[in-house]
Structure 1
Amino acid sequence: MGVDNYKTLSKSSILEVICRALEISHMVSYPIEHYSMEEIKILAKLAKQNDLVLTIGEEKSNFYQGVLLSLIKRSSLKDNKIFIDRL
């Protein structure tokens, strides 16, 4: 199995990112390279309005290596301590 990077993954729109994070109860992550600084600012604003936590972190797993924007519902953090330890 090869390691993915931002070139092998397709870009999702900011609204798709927010909708996906709201639909599920776990963390979703997207490569930071797909988004401009302006798009990241918009994403941060929308995340705050929708009670989502946005983090930026480095990933060095067997599946992906690079910097990721990650979103999770604030209520999921309270329900799942494992996410708090990861952040």
Structure 2
Amino acid sequence: MNLARTAKLVAQAFDATLVEAGGTLPVWVTLLSIKSRELANQRELAGMIGIQGATLTHHLNAMETQGLLIRRRDPENRRVHQVELTEAGE
């Protein structure tokens, strides 16, 4: 019981800190997942984060608009987008 309450308080404090920094948990997790790999495609990222591809696309669109990342088509498979952080995303 105490562990669950403590976890909830920590999560709330973390979320509040992210909001103060101008971010959200999905953005932070996505940036962290991209940073942990040199180059990742959207399917791999969705699997790493544990969300559906369409949900990830929504977040990536917003993050690309904010200048946090760029997406490029994989030259070997034009259906795949490679995702990498920009300087602002770092």
Q: If the TM-score is normalised by the length of the shorter chain, which range does it land in? A: 0.3 to 0.5
Q: Which has the higher contact order (CA 8 A, sep 6+)?
A: 1
Choose between structure 1 and 2: higher strand proportion.
1
- Could you tell me the TM-score, scaled by structure 2's length? 0.36
The structure whose Rg is larger is: 2
Choose between structure 1 and 2: higher helix proportion.
2
